[in-house]
Amino acid sequence: MLREKKMLIVGNLADDLSRSTIIIATGYQGLLAKQMAELRNDLAKAGIEYRVVKNTLLYRAAEQVDKQQLMKIIEGPVALAFGYDDVVNAAKALNGYIKSTTLPLQIKGGLLGDRILAPEEVISLADLPPKEILISKLIRQLKAPVGNLHNILGFPLQGLLNVLQSRAQMTSESQRR
């Protein structure tokens, strides 16, 4: 029975590892059960699953889904935050919770796709502006060269128009005299 239970846990963990877009490893030592439940609830509101895992079971699950590089950041007791959609959202939610409380929770690192993130990189991910703002900045950057080209090509035509209007105005004034 115990072996079957472990196999089920490994299967569920492997499924979570394969579905997640970002995995953030944290040390949770020093947290009370009440604080852990509060943390889980806050992260669940943001669509992030947070759970404590046994390292040996995590090793097996990581091998099943070919994410062995995750083991580089796993050392000692660890809890994982699984983000399934926006990678920045998971980092923001976890880092925001750490900043808003005085809990002894530390980020050990993360896995973004196949890339290992250092704790500083996870925190800098959390400091990124929202996705909508980044997209609007990108669009503005893409529009700038087109606008500049329009101004450059339109300037000589505008100059020609001004010269012709001045000439027409001078001609009409001279005809009135």
How many CB atoms within 10 Å of residue 22? Answer: 24
For 90-110, what is each residue's pLDDT tens digit? Answer: 888 888 888 888 777 888 999
Confidence band for 1, pLDDT divided at 50, 70 and 90: low
Domain boundary among 128, 145, 163: 128
Share of the chain above pLDDT 90, in %: 7
Domain boundary among 111, 128, 145: 128
**Residue 142 and residue 68 share a domain:** no
Rounded to whole angstroms, the Cα distance separating 119 from 121 reads 5
pLDDT score, position 127:
82
Are residues 123 and 144 part of one domain?
no
Q: Is the pLDDT of residue 145 over 80?
A: no
107/140 same-domain check: no
Domain shared by 61 and 85, yes or no: yes
pLDDT at 177 over 70: no
Are 103 and 60 found together in one domain? yes
Residue 176 has pLDDT above 60, yes or no: yes
Check whether residue 100 and residue 57 sit in a common domain: yes
Do 73 and 135 share a domain, yes or no? no
Residues sharing a CB contact under 8 Å with residue 165, sequence separation 6 or more, in sequence order: none
- In this structure, the answer to whether residues 117 and 158 fall within a common structural domain is no
Q: What's the mean per-residue pLDDT of the chain?
A: 84
Residues 112 and 56 in one domain: yes
Q: Is residue 149 pLDDT above 80, yes or no?
A: no
- Are 106 and 161 part of one and the same domain? no
Measured CA to CA, the distance from residue 104 to residue 45 in angstroms comes to 21
- Per the structure, the complete domain to which residue 41 belongs is given by 2-128
Residue 83 has pLDDT above 70, yes or no: yes
Same-domain check for residues 96 and 13: yes
99 and 135 inside one domain? no
pLDDT digits (tens, 9 = 90+) for 5-57: 888 988 999 998 888 889 999 988 888 888 888 889 988 988 899 999 898 89
Quote the tokens at residue 12: 């569920």
* Rounded Cα gap, residues 88 and 95, in angstroms: 10
Number of domains in the chain: 2
20: CATH: 3.30.70.1730
